[in-house]
C-alpha cells in the first residue's frame, strides 16, 4: 500500500516529519511502520515540545533514588523503604466517556507503580470541570467520580485525597489527573531497561482487543467539530483483572526471574517494547502470532497500536518461563512468550514467519523529533482599579457566598464515594491538609497531597506555578511531615501556539525556582498538551503532587481545633491581596489582576518554623491558608474540630475584607494553648517570623469583633449545601 499524504496526515504526522522518517530508515515505511512512528512520535509519547524544558527541572537530591525517565519516581524514606509515585492525565478519554475514561486513568497510573515492584498504598486525584451550570458538567462530574471510585474501590487501594474544581475554562476540556503512590523495599526495585541477548519477552495480563487504537495520538490532538466521528473507541477498564495482575506480578517479583518489566500504557505494545529495548541498547523481535488476542483476525497494525488495558511486558531470565507461567495461570491471566531480545538494535515484527516491520529503535526514540517551539511572554494581568467599592458590602454575606460556592464547598459528596480506609493504614482522611498513610507495620507514615491553582496560573504562569509548588509544600508541612519530593502533571492547550508555549515555559521556570529553593525535587510527571476545543485553550493548569515523610506517626498534626480558650495565631504577614481571590471572583465578579506574590525566603522560613513547633508539640492544630483566605481556613478548622473562634482584630493598615479574604501566601493558622503561648511567641520572634494573634477559640460560634457571630452548624450547612442541591438530594 502506497502511503498517501492523506494517510500521513491522519496519523498526525507532519510532512517534514515524514521526510525525517524516510531519512532515518532509508526508505518509505509501510503502513504498520507508519502507525508505529505515529504512536512513538506524537506529543504524548515523545515529549517533543516539552523535552527541552523538562530537562531544566531539579530532579535530584540525597533522597531521590529514581528521577524522571522511568515508569515512576522513587524516593528514599529510610530503613530500606522507598516510595514510588507519579501522576498522569486522562483528560481526553474522560471527556468522551467519563466513567471509563477516569477508571482507566486510575488503572494506568497504578500499573506504573506496581511495575516497579511497589505495592500501591494510595491514590489521589485532581479533577477539573467546566462551569457548574454548563449542561455537560453534572454528568461528567458524576461519571468521573464514580469511575475513579469504581476502579480504586474494586482493586482495593484507598483513594485518600484530591481536589475538585469548576471553571468555565474546562467546559469542553475537563481534566482528570490521577496520582498513585506505592511502597517498595529499596533493594527490590524493578526497572524497565532490558538486559542480555536472547532473553524471552513475555506478554501477561488481559487479551489485546481492538479498543483504544491510537489513544496516544488522540491525547495529542485538540478536539474539533468533527471529533464526534474521529473518536476512536475508548477502553473499558477491568479493575478485577488489574487486581489479579497486581498480585501475580508482585508474586513473581519475589522470585529472582525478572530482568525488566514495563506496563503497556499509551501506545501499548509498541511503546513498551520500544522503550525496554532502547533503554537497554538492544534489539527486540516479536512474533505477532503469539499475542493473546480477544478477537479474531486482528491485523499487526491493530495489535501493535491497541491500548487494551491491564497488560504488562516482561523480560525474563531464560529458563524461568515455566515458573512464571504457573503464577499467572494461578491468577487466571494470559501468559505468552512473544519474542526475544536481540543484538540488532532494531524492532522486528513477524507474522506467520514473515517480517512485517523492521525499524531501527533509535529512529523511534532518541532520533524522534524534538522541537524548540516559539513562545511569547505572557502579558501582565492588569488591575481593574475602578471596581474596588467592596467596603460597602456586608462581611457576613460575603463570607457566606464564598462558603456555598461550588469551588469552596465541602467535597465529601465526592470523597465519600472513594474507599479511603481500605488497607487499614489511612491516618488522615480526605478533607484535611494532606492525607496521611502509615507505612504498613511501622510507626512512620507518608503525607500526600495534590494541588493546582489555574486562576493564579492564568494571571501569571510563573508566579502561579511557584505558588502551587509552595502550596503543596505547605500542605505537607501542616500535617507534621518533612516534604520530600513532587510529581507534576502539566495540562495546557496547543503548544504550537506561542502564547500557550509561553505559558508552559514560564510554568516550568516557576516550578523549577520553587523546587530548587525548597530542595523539593521533581521525580516524575506527565505533560498533557492540546487541551483545547475550537481555539479555546484551558487555563494553564500545572498539578503538583507532593510526598512528605512523617518519622513518627504519633506526631501527625491535624487541622481540627482541639480545645476551647486556646490562641489562634496567623503565621506570615497578612497584607490583603485580593486580586484573583475567591472574594473577588465569587462576590465581586472581578477576574483580572495579578495573583499574590510568593516570597520563597518567607515560605521556607515560615514552613520550617511550623514544622518545628509541631515536632516540639507546641501546637494543637495547624492549617495552611490558601484559596478563600484566612476566614475559609479558620472556618474549616472550626468545623473539623466543632469548636468556634472569637476573632478580635484592630484594623488600621488593612480593612476587614482584606484581612478575611486576602490570599497572601506563605501563611498558616496555628492553634496554641495558653500554656505554650509564651514559648511559641519567643520562638517566632527569635526566628524573625511575622505573626499575629487574632483571637481565641470558643464554643459553637465563629465571630469577628462586633461584625458577625455565626453558629458553626449554620456554617456547616452552608458549606455542604451546594453538592446536595446540585444532585437534588435532601
Partner 1 sequence: MKISAIVTLKKEVLDPQGKVVNQTLKNMGYKNINNVRQGKYFEIEIDETNEKNAKNTMEEICKKLLANSIIEDFTINLK
Partner 2 sequence: MKSAVIVFPGSNCDRDISVALKKFQIKNEMVWHDESDLPKSDLVVLPGGFSYGDYLRTGCIASKSKIINDVIKHAEKGGLVLGICNGFQILIETGLLPGALLRNKKLRFISKNVYLKVNNVNNKFCLNYKGKKIIKLPIAHNEGNFFAQEKILKELEDSDLIAFKYCDVNGNTNEASNPNGSSKNIAGILNVNKNILGMMPHPERHIDPVLSGDDGSFMFESLLKSF
Ligand X SMILES: Nc1ncnc2c1ncn2[C@@H]1O[C@H](COP(=O)(O)OP(=O)(O)O)[C@@H](O)[C@H]1O
Q: Which residues bind partner 1 (CB under 8 A)?
A: 96-97, 100, 206, 209-211, 231, 233-238, 240-241, 294-295, 308-309, 332, 728
What backbone phi and psi angles, to 5 degrees, belong to 572? 100, 155
Distance between start and end Cα atoms, the chain? 62
The 221-250 site mask, x for binding partner 2 (CB under 8 A), equals -----------------xxxx-xx------
Shortest Cβ 112–Mg ion spacing (Å): 4
- Name which of residues 325 to 354 contact partner 2 (CB under 8 A): 331-332
- Could you confirm whether 44 is annotated as catalytic? yes
In the bound state with partner 2, the residue whose beta carbon lies nearer, of 103 and 361, is: 103
Within 228-267, which residues bind ligand X (CB under 6 A)? 265-266
Give the span between the Cα atoms of 432 and 135, in whole angstroms.
31
Q: Does 256 bind partner 2 (CB under 8 A)?
A: no
Residue 310 in contact with ligand X, rule: CB under 6 A: no
Task: Among 38, 100, 273, 426, indicate the residue that binds partner 2 (CB under 8 A).
Answer: 426
Q: Is the distance from CB of 110 to CB of 180 less than 8 angstroms?
A: yes
486 DSSP β-pair partners: 522, 546
Residue choice 56, 69, 185, 382 for contact with ligand X (CB under 6 A): 69
Grid cell for residue 211 = 479498543
| From the list partner 1, Mg ion, partner 2, none, partner contacted by residue 146 (C-beta under 5 to 8 A by kind) | partner 2
60, exposed or middle or buried, with CB in 10 Å at 0-12, 13-18, 19+? exposed
Segment 489-548, which members bind ligand X (CB under 6 A)? 490, 522, 524-527
Is residue 658 near Mg ion by the rule CB under 5 A?
A: no
- Strand 701-704, strand 644-647: pairing: parallel
Q: Rounded to whole angstroms, what are the CA distances from 530 to 171, 214, 230, 495, 603? A: 14, 15, 16, 7, 33
CB 469, min distance to partner 2, A? 30
Residue 623 appears among annotated catalytic residues: no
Nine-digit cell at 42? 506524537
**Which does residue 537 bind out of Mg ion, ligand X, partner 1, none, counting CB within 5 to 8 angstroms by kind?**
none
Distance CA 70, CA 84 (A): 11
User: Closest distance between partner 1 and the C-beta of residue 644, in Å?
Assistant: 39
Size of the site for partner 2 (CB under 8 A): 33
**Degrees, nearest 5: CA angle 264-270-271:** 60
Chain-centroid distance of CA 465 in Å reads 14
- The residue range among 46-54, 69-77, 326-334, 675-683 that interacts with Mg ion, by the rule CB under 5 A, is 69-77
Helix-helix angle 461-478:600-615, to 10 degrees: 10
**Contact criterion met (CB below 8 Å) for 624 and 475:** yes
Contact call for residue 64 and ligand X (CB under 6 A): no
Strand ranges for 529-584 from DSSP E: 532-533, 536-537, 541-550, 567-571
Is residue 249 within 8 Å of 261, Cβ to Cβ? Answer: yes
User: Can you tell me the distance from the alpha carbon of 123 to that of 85, in angstroms, rounded to the nearest whole number?
Assistant: 9
**CA-to-CA distance for 425 and 595, rounded, in angstroms?**
38
Binder among 33, 43, 97, 112 for ligand X (CB under 6 A): 112
User: With CB cut-offs between 5 and 8 Å by kind, which of partner 2, Mg ion, partner 1, none does residue 97 bind?
Assistant: partner 1
Least distance to ligand X, CB of residue 86, Å: 6
Q: Give residues with Cβ within 8 angstroms of 706, minimum separation 6.
A: none
What residues between 262 and 291 interact with ligand X by CB under 6 A?
Answer: 265-266
Cα Rg, the chain, nearest whole Å: 26
User: What DSSP assignment string belongs to 237-301?
Assistant: P-HHHHHHHHHHHHHHHHTT-EEEEEE--TTHHHHHHHHHHHHTT-EEEEEGGGS-BSSTT--HH
**Using the rule CB under 8 A, is 205 a contact of partner 2?**
no
Q: Residue 71: name its binding partner from partner 1, partner 2, Mg ion, none (Cβ under 5 to 8 Å by kind).
A: Mg ion
Contact residues for ligand X, defined by CB under 6 A: 45, 54, 57, 68-71, 86, 88, 112, 265-266, 488, 490, 522, 524-527
Contact residues for partner 2, defined by CB under 8 A: 146, 149-150, 153-156, 238-241, 243-244, 331-332, 412, 415-424, 426-427, 429, 438, 553-554, 729
Contact residues for Mg ion, defined by CB under 5 A: 71, 112, 263, 265
Catalytic residues: 44, 90
Amino acid at each position: 500500500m502506497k502511503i498517501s499524504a492523506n494517510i500521513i496526515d491522519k496519523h498526525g504526522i507532519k510532512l517534514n516529519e515524514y521526510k525525517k522518517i524516510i531519512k532515518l530508515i532509508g526508505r518509505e515505511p509501510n503502513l504498520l511502520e507508519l502507525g508505529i512512528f505515529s504512536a512513538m512520535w506524537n506529543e504524548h509519547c515523545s515529549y517533543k515540545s516539552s523535552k527541552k524544558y523538562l530537562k531544566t527541572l531539579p530532579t535530584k537530591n540525597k533522597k531521590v533514588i529514581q528521577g524522571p525517565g522511568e515508569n515512576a519516581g522513587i524516593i528514599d524514606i529510610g530503613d530500606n523503604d522507598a516510595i514510588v509515585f507519579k501522576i498522569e492525565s486522562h483528560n481526553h478519554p474522560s471527556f468522551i466517556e467519563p466513567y471509563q475514561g477516569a477508571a482507566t486513568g486510575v488503572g494506568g497510573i497504578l500499573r506504573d507503580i506496581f511495575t516497579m515492584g511497589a505495592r500501591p498504598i494510595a491514590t489521589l486525584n485532581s479533577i477539573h470541570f467546566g462551569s457548574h451550570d454548563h449542561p455537560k458538567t453534572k454528568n461528567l462530574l458524576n461519571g468521573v467520580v464514580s469511575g475513579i471510585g469504581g476502579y480504586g474501590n474494586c482493586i482495593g487501594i484507598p483513594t485518600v485525597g484530591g481536589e475538585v474544581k469548576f471553571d468555565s475554562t474546562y467546559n469542553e476540556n475537563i481534566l482528570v489527573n490521577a496520582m498513585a503512590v506505592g511502597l517498595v523495599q529499596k533493594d527490590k526495585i524493578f526497572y524497565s531497561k532490558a538486559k542480555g541477548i536472547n532473553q524471552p519477552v513475555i506478554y501477561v495480563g488481559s487479551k489485546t482487543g481492538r479498543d483504544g487504537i491510537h489513544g496516544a495520538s488522540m491525547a495529542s490532538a485538540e478536539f474539533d467539530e468533527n471529533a464526534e466521528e474521529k473518536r476512536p473507541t475508548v477502553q473499558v477498564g477491568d479493575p478485577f483483572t488489574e487486581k489479579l495482575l497486581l498480585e501475580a506480578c508482585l508474586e513473581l517479583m519475589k522470585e529472582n526471574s525478572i530482568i525488566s518489566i514495563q506496563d503497556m500504557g499509551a501506545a501499548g505494545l509498541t511503546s513498551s517494547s520500544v522503550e525496554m529495548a532502547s533503554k537497554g541498547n538492544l534489539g527486540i523481535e516479536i512474533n505477532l502470532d503469539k499475542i493473546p488476542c480477544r478477537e479474531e483476525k486482528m491485523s499487526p497494525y491493530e495489535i501493535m497500536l491497541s491500548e487494551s488495558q491491564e497488560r504488562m511486558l516482561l523480560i525474563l531470565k531464560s529458563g524461568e518461563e515455566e515458573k512464571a507461567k504457573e503464577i499467572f495461570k494461578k491468577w487466571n491471566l494470559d501468559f505468552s512468550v512473544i519474542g526475544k531480545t536481540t543484538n540488532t538494535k532494531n524492532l522486528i515484527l513477524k507474522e506467520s514467519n514473515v517480517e512485517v516491520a523492521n525499524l531501527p529503535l533509535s529512529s523511534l526514540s532518541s532520533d524522534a523529533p524534538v522541537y524548540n517551539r516559539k513562545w511569547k511572554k505572557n502579558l501582565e494581568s492588569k488591575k481593574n482599579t475602578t471596581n474596588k467599592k467592596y467596603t460597602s458590602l456586608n462581611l457576613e454575606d460575603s463570607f457566606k457566598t464564598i462558603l456555598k460556592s461550588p469551588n469552596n464547598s465541602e467535597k465529601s459528596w465526592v470523597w465519600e464515594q472513594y474507599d479511603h480506609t481500605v488497607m487499614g493504614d489511612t491516618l488522615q482522611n480526605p478533607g484535611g491538609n494532606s492525607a496521611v498513610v502509615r507505612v504498613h507495620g511501622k510507626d512512620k507514615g507518608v503525607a500526600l497531597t495534590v494541588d493546582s491553582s489555574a486562576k493564579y496560573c492564568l494571571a501569571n504562569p510563573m508566579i502561579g506555578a511557584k505558588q502551587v509548588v509552595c502550596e503543596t509544600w505547605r500542605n505537607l508541612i501542616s500535617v507534621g511531615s518533612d516534604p520530600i519530593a513532587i510529581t507534576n502533571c502539566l495540562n495546557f492547550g496547543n503548544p504550537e501556539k506561542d502564547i500557550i508555549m509561553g505559558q508552559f515555559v514560564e510554568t516550568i521556570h516557576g516550578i523549577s525556582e520553587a523546587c530548587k529553593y525548597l530542595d523539593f525535587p521533581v521525580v516524575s510527571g506527565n505533560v498533557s498538551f492540546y487541551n483545547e476545543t475550537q481555539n479555546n485553550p484551558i487555563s494553564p493548569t500545572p498539578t503538583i503532587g507532593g510526598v512528605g515523610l512523617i518519622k513518627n506517626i504519633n506526631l501527625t498534626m491535624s487541622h481540627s481545633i482541639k480545645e476551647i480558650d486556646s490562641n489562634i495565631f496567623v503565621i506570615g504577614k497578612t497584607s490583603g491581596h485580593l486580586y484573583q481571590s475567591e472574594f473577588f471572583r465569587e462576590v465581586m465578579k472581578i477576574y483580572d489582576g495579578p495573583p499574590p506574590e510568593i516570597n520563597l525566603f518567607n515560605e521556607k522560613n515560615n514552613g520550617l518554623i511550623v514544622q518545628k513547633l509541631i515536632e516540639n508539640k507546641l501546637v494543637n492544630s495547624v492549617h495552611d491558608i490558601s484559596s478563600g483566605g484566612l476566614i475559609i481556613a479558620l472556618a474549616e478548622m472550626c468545623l473539623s474540630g466543632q469548636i468556634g473562634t472569637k476573632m478580635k482584630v484592630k484594623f488600621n493598615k488593612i480593612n476587614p475584607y482584606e484581612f478575611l479574604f486576602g490570599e497572601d501566601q506563605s501563611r498558616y493558622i496555628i492553634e496554641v494553648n495558653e500554656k505554650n503561648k509564651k514559648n511559641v511567641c519567643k520562638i517566632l520572634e527569635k526566628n524573625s517570623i511575622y505573626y499575629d494573634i487574632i483571637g481565641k477559640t470558643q464554643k459553637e460560634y465563629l465571630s469577628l469583633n462586633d461584625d458577625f457571630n455565626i453558629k458553626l452548624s449554620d456554617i456547616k450547612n452552608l458549606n455542604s449545601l451546594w453538592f446536595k442541591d446540585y444532585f437534588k438530594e435532601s
